[in-house]
């Protein structure tokens, strides 16, 4: 029985008889009491457990809240960074929601389109009106918007041209989530400068940076056009290849900046010489090419050349100083000379070289003979490559006879080349080519070596005190260790420098005069002699005769050959002789072929005679025999 019920029965002093009688009822009551107790226990326990569980969950939630707050702060930070990036980007970015309301735009966009921050609700219509006001072609923009309206997921690219000339590249893309349009973003980038640069780069690709003239690429393109036009109209096209004479010297002596200024001036003068429709191009350096299109006769080319030559002959004033320059022009003609643009340019170039060889300052048409010469030179060049190795060179000697006592102590060493043991090739032909190839340097040393050997051989034969003259080229002179090598060679052969006489032409003196003086002084210090070769053909400046340590002048053969026929030559020769003597220089006359010349020269006090009258150039063996008096 439930305790409470038992106490209640006891308190109300019920008899056991009564309880027995009421037993079923009392049992039911007792069970009901117990049920309620159990129920209470369960509910109380449940309450306690639930509150405990809820407390625990609360704790978890609180810690999650802290985490959430931290995350929130981080998000705010990164949002701030994103916002600043959004604003800092060079692009203008504008975002609309699905209904066309302006959602966001960054700083650049606000600035460009004059959108103020306070304008909260801006729909697409207002924005379109706003943007249209800035555009050169608003109609095109509005058409694009119609396209978007029709095809909502359309991506658009293009360029807006603003009224102020600015160009903006734009990109508009739909933002779609689960196939649902939620908005659209427009990005705009100012590409004005980029586009300008592109145009500039395009221009630069086809133009020369210094003179802004068309370059080789554009030249070829224009020449193609002119050729096809001439084909249809039966006209001629002339290609003029212009090269400034001795421009390198201007660059080297006056500096590149001045050289550049000169080129700019040359370009502007050349422009003046051609018609508006003609093409004037610069190939680089001092090379210019002119295309004269649709001409009826080559006379037009001739006239233009003459005009160019005359125009460039006039002095240039740069930095208040006068400069003189000349040019050589080569001409090729379509269709006579060739059909292809490249060949026409090449042939004009070839003709230009020929013009230079003809003495500069002139022009020359291309012809087949020129080309043959060029091929011949090329052939020589190929043969020269192996000549030294194949022992095809030889040194010949030509005596210089002393007029005072008819003695023979001086000879000039002369290089000879025999290809495959057959024909002899003239030095006037192969020396320029060897110079072009750079072969002249090893060849020059080979000659010096050979001469030194020969001097010793002569000594061995009892032939003493021979002085051998060796020709020096400008390239040998510019070798930094040239004198050093000479000293080594002399030491090797145990020879004194006084057995050598260095012959240089006047043209060498046009190079760096100080440098020339230094080298000559050093050679002189070795005991060697210095002679000026071909005197009278070049610049014949008296100044250098004074400044340089020169011993001898060699009067060019051309004066001597003319001596007999032309009395003025006589006075010229005698003048040179007295000039030399006044400067304490000895004189050698070259190319002396008969006794009357000898008489004349002897009369005028010439010191040495070199020529066929006495001896032709001969090989070492013959020379030795001459020395020994055997011939």
Partner 1 sequence: MKVFQSHFQNGQWDPALPKTSDAQWVLTFGSRQIEQDSAFQLTISETFPNAESIGCSTSGEICDDQVFDNTMVLTAVTFDNTVLKTASVNANENTNSFETGKVLGAKLDGNNLKYVFVLSDGQKVNGTELVEGLLSVLPEGVLISGGLAGDDARFEETMVWHNQKVESGLLVICGFYGDSIRFGHGTLGGWDTFGPERNVTRASGNVLYELDDQPALDLYKNYLGDFSKDLPSSALLFPLSLKADGQSEAVVRTILNIDETDKSMTFAGDIPQGHTAKLMKANFERLIDGASGAAKNAMNSLKQDAELAILISCVGRRLVLKQRVDEELESVSDALSEDCVKCGFYSYGEISPLLSGDGCHLHNQTMTITTLSEV
What is the smallest separation between the CB atom of 33 and partner 1, expressed in angstroms?
11
Our CB check for partner 1 shows the closer of 45 and 149 to be 45
Binding segment for partner 1 (CB under 8 A), chosen from 37-45, 390-398, 478-486, 565-573, is: 37-45
Q: Which of 8, 46, 518, 631 binds partner 1 (CB under 8 A)?
A: 46
Sign of CA dihedral 139, 140, 145, 149: positive
Between CA 368 and CA 380 the distance in angstroms is 18
Helix/strand/coil for 463: coil
Binding segment for partner 1 (CB under 8 A), chosen from 28-36, 246-254, 461-469, 576-584, is: 28-36
Our CB check for partner 1 shows the closer of 43 and 159 to be 43
Q: Does 25 bind partner 1 (CB under 8 A)?
A: no
Token pair of 609, please?
A: 């005679």
Half-sphere exposure of 64 (CA within 13 A, CB side): 6
Q: Does 54 bind partner 1 (CB under 8 A)?
A: yes
Q: Which of 22, 42, 217, 378 binds partner 1 (CB under 8 A)?
A: 42
Our CB check for partner 1 shows the closer of 28 and 217 to be 28
Are the beta carbons of 352 and 288 closer than 8 angstroms? no
What is the smallest separation between the CB atom of 75 and partner 1, expressed in angstroms?
27
Our CB check for partner 1 shows the closer of 51 and 84 to be 51
Our CB check for partner 1 shows the closer of 57 and 137 to be 57
Our CB check for partner 1 shows the closer of 50 and 129 to be 50
Are the beta carbons of 529 and 467 closer than 8 angstroms? yes
Between CA 193 and CA 182 the distance in angstroms is 34
Q: Does 60 bind partner 1 (CB under 8 A)?
A: no
Buried b (16+ CB within 10 A) or exposed e, 363-384: bbbbbeebbeebeebeebeebb
Q: Which of 40, 57, 59, 515 binds partner 1 (CB under 8 A)?
A: 57
Q: Which of 22, 23, 40, 53 binds partner 1 (CB under 8 A)?
A: 53
What is the smallest separation between the CB atom of 24 and partner 1, expressed in angstroms?
12
Q: Does 65 bind partner 1 (CB under 8 A)?
A: no
Q: Does 199 bind partner 1 (CB under 8 A)?
A: no
Between CA 67 and CA 631 the distance in angstroms is 120
Binding segment for partner 1 (CB under 8 A), chosen from 35-43, 304-312, 338-346, 502-510, is: 35-43
Between CA 21 and CA 18 the distance in angstroms is 5
Our CB check for partner 1 shows the closer of 47 and 129 to be 47
What is the smallest separation between the CB atom of 44 and partner 1, expressed in angstroms?
10
Q: At how many degrees (to 10) do helices 256-273 and 247-254 cross?
A: 140
Binding segment for partner 1 (CB under 8 A), chosen from 46-54, 295-303, 360-368, 472-480, is: 46-54
The alpha carbons of the chain give a radius of gyration, in whole angstroms, of 52
What is the smallest separation between the CB atom of 74 and partner 1, expressed in angstroms?
28
Are the beta carbons of 366 and 352 closer than 8 angstroms? no
Between CA 30 and CA 22 the distance in angstroms is 12
Sign of CA dihedral 289, 292, 296, 302: negative
Number of chain residues interacting with partner 1 (CB under 8 A): 15
Binding segment for partner 1 (CB under 8 A), chosen from 42-50, 431-439, 581-589, 615-623, is: 42-50
Would you call 584 exposed, middle or buried from its count of C-beta atoms within 10 A (0-12, 13-18, 19+)? Answer: exposed
Q: Does 45 bind partner 1 (CB under 8 A)?
A: yes
Between CA 574 and CA 577 the distance in angstroms is 5
Between CA 465 and CA 462 the distance in angstroms is 10
Our CB check for partner 1 shows the closer of 38 and 429 to be 38
**29 vs 32, 50, 612, CA distance in Å?**
5, 31, 167
Q: Which of 35, 379, 599, 625 binds partner 1 (CB under 8 A)?
A: 35
Binding segment for partner 1 (CB under 8 A), chosen from 45-53, 269-277, 505-513, 585-593, is: 45-53
What is the smallest separation between the CB atom of 70 and partner 1, expressed in angstroms?
25
Task: Return the residues of window 342-361 that contact partner 1 according to CB under 8 A.
Answer: none
Our CB check for partner 1 shows the closer of 60 and 79 to be 60
Between CA 536 and CA 171 the distance in angstroms is 78
Q: How many residues does the chain have?
A: 631
Our CB check for partner 1 shows the closer of 32 and 66 to be 32
**83 vs 95, 170, 186, 188, CA distance in Å?**
14, 21, 17, 17
Q: Which of 6, 22, 25, 32 binds partner 1 (CB under 8 A)?
A: 32
Between CA 356 and CA 367 the distance in angstroms is 15
Q: Does 49 bind partner 1 (CB under 8 A)?
A: yes
Between CA 128 and CA 202 the distance in angstroms is 35
Q: Which of 6, 22, 25, 50 binds partner 1 (CB under 8 A)?
A: 50
Are the beta carbons of 494 and 513 closer than 8 angstroms? no
Our CB check for partner 1 shows the closer of 46 and 566 to be 46
What is the smallest separation between the CB atom of 50 and partner 1, expressed in angstroms?
4
Binding segment for partner 1 (CB under 8 A), chosen from 39-47, 334-342, 401-409, 445-453, is: 39-47
Q: Which of 22, 31, 80, 488 binds partner 1 (CB under 8 A)?
A: 31
Our CB check for partner 1 shows the closer of 32 and 583 to be 32
What is the smallest separation between the CB atom of 45 and partner 1, expressed in angstroms?
5
What is the smallest separation between the CB atom of 53 and partner 1, expressed in angstroms?
6
Q: Which residue has the tokens 């012959």?
A: 503
Q: Which of 6, 22, 25, 28 binds partner 1 (CB under 8 A)?
A: 28
Secondary structure string (H, E, C) spanning 480-539? CCHHHHHHHHHHHCCCCHHHEEEEEEHHHHCCCHHHHHHHHHHHHHCCCEEEEEEECCCC
Determine the straight-line distance between the first and last CA of the chain, rounded to whole angstroms: 172
Between CA 445 and CA 487 the distance in angstroms is 12
Would you call 164 exposed, middle or buried from its count of C-beta atoms within 10 A (0-12, 13-18, 19+)? Answer: exposed
Our CB check for partner 1 shows the closer of 46 and 224 to be 46
Our CB check for partner 1 shows the closer of 30 and 294 to be 30
Our CB check for partner 1 shows the closer of 55 and 578 to be 55
What pairing do the DSSP bridges indicate for beta strands 586-590 and 552-555?
parallel
**66 vs 61, 77, 79, 169, CA distance in Å?**
9, 17, 19, 46
Buried b (16+ CB within 10 A) or exposed e, 38-75: eeeeeeeeeeeeeeeeeeeeeeeeeeeeeeeeeeeeee
Our CB check for partner 1 shows the closer of 46 and 83 to be 46
- The footprint of partner 1 (CB under 8 A) covers 28, 31-32, 35, 38, 41-43, 45-46, 49-50, 53-54, 57
């Amino acid at each position: 029985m439930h305790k409470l019920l038992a106490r209640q029965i006891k308190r109300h002093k019920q008899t056991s008889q009564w309880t027995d009688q009421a037993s079923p009822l009392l049992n039911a009551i007792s069970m009901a009491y117990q049920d309620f107790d159990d129920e209470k226990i369960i509910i109380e326990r449940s309450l306690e457990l639930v509150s405990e569980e809820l407390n625990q969950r609360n704790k978890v939630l609180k810690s999650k809240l802290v985490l959430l707050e931290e995350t929130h702060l981080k998000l705010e930070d990164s949002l701030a960074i994103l916002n600043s990036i959004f604003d800092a980007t060079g692009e203008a970015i504008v975002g609309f929601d699905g209904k066309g309301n302006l959602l966001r735009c960054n700083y650049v966009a606000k600035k460009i389109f004059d959108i103020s921050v306070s304008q909260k609700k801006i729909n697409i219509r207002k924005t379109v009106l706003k943007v249209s006001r800035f555009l050169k072609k608003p109609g095109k923009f509005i058409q694009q918007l119609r396209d978007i309206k029709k095809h909502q997921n359309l991506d658009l690219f293009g360029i807006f041209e603003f009224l102020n000339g600015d160009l903006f590249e734009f990109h508009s893309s739909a933002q779609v989530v689960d196939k649902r349009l939620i908005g659209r973003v427009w990005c705009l980038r100012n590409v004005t400068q980029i586009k300008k640069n592109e145009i500039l780069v395009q221009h630069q690709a086809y133009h020369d940076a210094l003179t802004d003239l068309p370059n080789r690429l554009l030249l070829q393109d224009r020449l193609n056009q002119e050729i096809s036009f001439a084909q249809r109209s039966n006209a001629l096209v002339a290609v003029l290849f212009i090269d400034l004479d001795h421009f390198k010297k201007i660059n080297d002596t006056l500096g590149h900046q001045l050289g550049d200024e000169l080129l700019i001036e040359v370009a502007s003068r050349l422009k003046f010489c051609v018609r508006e429709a003609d093409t004037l191009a610069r190939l680089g350096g001092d090379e210019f090419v002119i295309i004269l299109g649709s001409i009826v006769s080559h006379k037009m080319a001739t006239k233009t050349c003459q005009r160019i030559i005359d125009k460039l002959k006039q002095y240039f004033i740069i930095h208040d100083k006068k400069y003189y320059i000349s040019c050589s022009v080569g001409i090729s003609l379509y269709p006579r000379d060739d059909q292809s643009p490249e060949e026409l340019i090449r042939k004009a170039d070839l003709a230009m070289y020929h013009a230079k060889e003809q003495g500069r300052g002139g022009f020359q048409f291309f012809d087949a003979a020129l080309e043959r010469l060029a091929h011949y030179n090329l052939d020589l060049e190929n043969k020269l490559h192996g000549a030294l190795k194949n022992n095809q060179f030889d040194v010949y000697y030509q005596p210089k006879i002393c007029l005072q006592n008819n003695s023979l102590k001086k000879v000039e060493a002369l290089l000879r080349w025999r290809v495959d043991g057959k024909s002899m090739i003239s030095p006037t032909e192969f020396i320029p080519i060897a110079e072009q190839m750079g072969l002249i340097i090893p060849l020059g040393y080979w000659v010096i070596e050979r001469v030194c050997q020969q001097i010793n051989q002569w000594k061995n034969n009892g032939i003493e005190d021979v002085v051998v003259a060796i020709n020096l080229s400008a390239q040998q002179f510019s070798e930094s260790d040239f004198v050093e090598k000479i000293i080594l060679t002399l030491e090797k052969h145990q020879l004194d420098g006084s057995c050598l006489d260095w012959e240089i032409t006047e043209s060498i003196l046009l190079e760096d005069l100080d440098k020339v003086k230094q080298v000559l002084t050093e050679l002189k210090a070795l005991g060697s002699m210095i002679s000026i070769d071909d005197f009278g053909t070049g610049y014949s400046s008296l100044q250098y005769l004074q400044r340089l340590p020169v011993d001898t002048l060699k009067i060019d053969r051309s004066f001597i050959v003319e001596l007999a026929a032309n009395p003025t030559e006589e006075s010229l020769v005698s003048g040179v002789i007295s000039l030399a003597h006044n400067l304490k220089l000895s004189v050698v006359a070259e190319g002396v072929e008969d006794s009357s010349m000898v008489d004349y020269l002897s009369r005028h006090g010439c010191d040495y005679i070199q020529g066929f009258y006495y001896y032709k150039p001969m090989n070492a063996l013959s020379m030795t025999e001459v020395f020994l008096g055997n011939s």
